[in-house]
Amino acid sequence: MHVEIITIGNEVLSGRTLDTNFAFLARALEEASVPIGWHSTVGDTAERIADALRRALDRADGVVLTGGLGPTPDDITRKVVATTLGRPLQLDDTVLAGIRERAKRSGRKLPASIEGQALLPRGATVWPNPLGTAPGLLILEDEKPVILLPGVPQEMEALATAFVVPYLRERTGVAVESFTLRTAGVFESQLHERIGNLPQGWPGATLAYLPSYFGVDLRVTATGPDADLVRSVATRAHAELSARVGPVVYAEGGRAIEEVVGEALVAKGWHIATAESCTGGLLARRLTDTPGSSRYFERGFVTYSNASKTQLVGVDAGDLEAHGAVSAPVAEQLARGARARAGVELGVGITGIAGPDGGSEEKPVGTVFIAVSSPRGEAVRRYRFMGTRRTIRERAAQTALDLLRRELAGLPLDAKLEG
């Protein structure tokens, strides 16, 4: 079964809005062993939507359309699909009642145009939208599923997770088991060298390397007609892969490293303070993005200027003069000072050159020092991150989080693949 995804919207076609809906759907369906054969993007015009739908039905076994289900005049997807498939729009009383009830609960009067979302192509199956008024719709056209989803990312993702992926997975008749190991501190090439030909021993399974500036995710997907065999292969793959790369794995599935760090802090009963220069508070933001972070995050210092480094966390002015702001002694004092001023068990300091200017031969752009201070002692590491200003800052924050994870777990601070 091969599916085509059609993204609808002038804002997407113009590039002003990133097509995150396609990215989410493609990943989710690929994990469910539903191959994406084609992807089209069209503007909010009836002719182009209709043409895209006809082409998709000619070559694909199913079609998923996102966008154009709202109440504004340019939201024409329902009408175009109804006309193209010869299925007149009909009022669905259940959907209409749901829209009115949602308006009542919100305590505000919704415009009458929103009730137009209860006009559905004849024969459509309704998938209730838990986050909005436009439902997801399923139409079987010559036994090919045509699925309509709203373009609002949160709504689309909720409907895709609850209905689309399970429905299309069941139609494939294939059992699927998958898992993801998230790594930090090593390159894709190092992982590939360490893993070698291990996946060849997993019949029906594939290993995907998914690099980003947060690290490299390793995703294994096992498929086949025999559910027990697929489960057995996935279990063996998990055990063998974990044994091979376990030292650099920080989480499984979609868990972020800041969640792992937060859980470790809670488990130890520790609190943390940060002192950041080149990352400008990015590390503190990521730590506090996690719900419940007030249990362990005490405070963060953004020490961008030399004066702030001295005044806020007590970095020695003489060391700033002698070694420069981007140096190991300064990073150590940032971590130590943050910990002391906040009265906590764990402090981290980051200082570096994010660029694009400010580098030198001795300290080129991307040079970052990260230090950790805890009851175990103090340690500082020097890194050279490549990329844009944004990616250097993101990589610095991610690396700091991995250092914190290792410190809290009592592991060596340097990520290594043994053997």
Check: CB of residue 64 under 8 Å from CB of residue 38: no
Q: Averaged over 84-103, what is the pLDDT?
A: 91
Give the pLDDT score at 104: 81
Looking up residue 284, the CATH number of its domain turns out to be: 3.90.950.20
Q: Is residue 261 part of a domain?
A: yes
Query: 7 and 78 share a domain?
Result: yes
Q: Is residue 418 part of a domain?
A: no
> In this predicted model, what pLDDT tens digit does every residue of 294-311 receive, in sequence order?
999 999 999 999 999 999
Whole-angstrom Cα distance, residue 78 to residue 163? Answer: 19
- pLDDT of 103 over the 90 cut: no
Q: Single out the residue in 201, 227, 252 at which a domain terminates.
A: 252
Greater pLDDT, 326 or 101: 326
Buried/exposed 132-163: b ≥16 CB within 10 Å, e otherwise: bbbbbbbbebeeebbbbbbbbeebbbbbbeeb
**What is the CA 63 to chain-centroid distance, rounded?**
25
Give the position of tokens 């970052």: 368
Query: 159 and 28 share a domain?
Result: yes
Looking up residue 40, the CATH number of its domain turns out to be: 3.40.980.10
Query: 243 and 263 share a domain?
Result: no
Query: CA–CA distance from 143 to each of 106, 139, 212, 257, 363 (Å)?
Result: 39, 9, 39, 44, 63
Closest among 54, 52, 64, 48 to 2, alpha carbons compared: 64
- pLDDT of 330 over the 70 cut: yes
Query: 290 and 305 share a domain?
Result: yes
- pLDDT of 419 over the 70 cut: no
Name the band, by pLDDT with cuts 50, 70 and 90, for residue 339: very high
- pLDDT of 109 over the 90 cut: no
Q: Single out the residue in 201, 229, 252 at which a domain terminates.
A: 252
- pLDDT of 11 over the 90 cut: yes
Alpha helices in 14-60 (DSSP H): 20-31, 46-59
Greater pLDDT, 369 or 109: 369
Q: Single out the residue in 172, 203, 220 at which a domain terminates.
A: 172
DSSP 135: P
Q: Is residue 414 part of a domain?
A: no
Label residue 86 exposed, middle or buried (CB < 10 Å: 0-12, 13-18, 19+): exposed
Query: 97 and 207 share a domain?
Result: no
Whole-angstrom Cα distance, residue 370 to residue 373? Answer: 10
Name the band, by pLDDT with cuts 50, 70 and 90, for residue 24: very high
Closest among 20, 15, 13 to 152, alpha carbons compared: 20
Give the pLDDT score at 47: 97
One-letter identity of residue 350: I
Query: 349 and 294 share a domain?
Result: yes
Q: Is residue 354 part of a domain?
A: yes
Query: 293 and 239 share a domain?
Result: no
Query: 72 and 127 share a domain?
Result: yes
Tally of domains in the chain: 3
Q: Averaged over 55-61, what is the pLDDT?
A: 97
> In this predicted model, what pLDDT tens digit does every residue of 233-278 receive, in sequence order?
999 999 999 999 999 999 999 899 999 999 999 999 999 999 999 9
- pLDDT of 400 over the 70 cut: yes
Check: CB of residue 274 under 8 Å from CB of residue 287: yes
Answer whether the bond into residue 356 is a cis peptide, omega within 30°: yes
Strands laid side by side in the 62-66 sheet: 36-42, 3-8, 62-66, 144-149, 136-141, 125-127
Q: Is residue 321 part of a domain?
A: yes
Percentage, residues of the chain above pLDDT 90: 87
Give the pLDDT score at 102: 82
Whole-angstrom Cα distance, residue 190 to residue 193? Answer: 5
Give the pLDDT score at 190: 95
- pLDDT of 178 over the 70 cut: yes
Q: Is residue 416 part of a domain?
A: no
Looking up residue 206, the CATH number of its domain turns out to be: 3.30.70.2860
Whole-angstrom Cα distance, residue 248 to residue 182? Answer: 8
Query: 161 and 22 share a domain?
Result: yes
Query: 154 and 264 share a domain?
Result: no
Query: 219 and 265 share a domain?
Result: no
Query: 247 and 281 share a domain?
Result: no
The per-residue pLDDT of the chain, averaged, comes to: 95
Give the pLDDT score at 143: 94
DSSP symbols for 202-219? STTEEEEEEEETTEEEEE
DSSP 366: T
Q: Is residue 373 part of a domain?
A: yes
Range of the domain at 123: 3-172
Q: Is residue 383 part of a domain?
A: yes
Name the band, by pLDDT with cuts 50, 70 and 90, for residue 379: very high
Q: Averaged over 323-331, what is the pLDDT?
A: 98
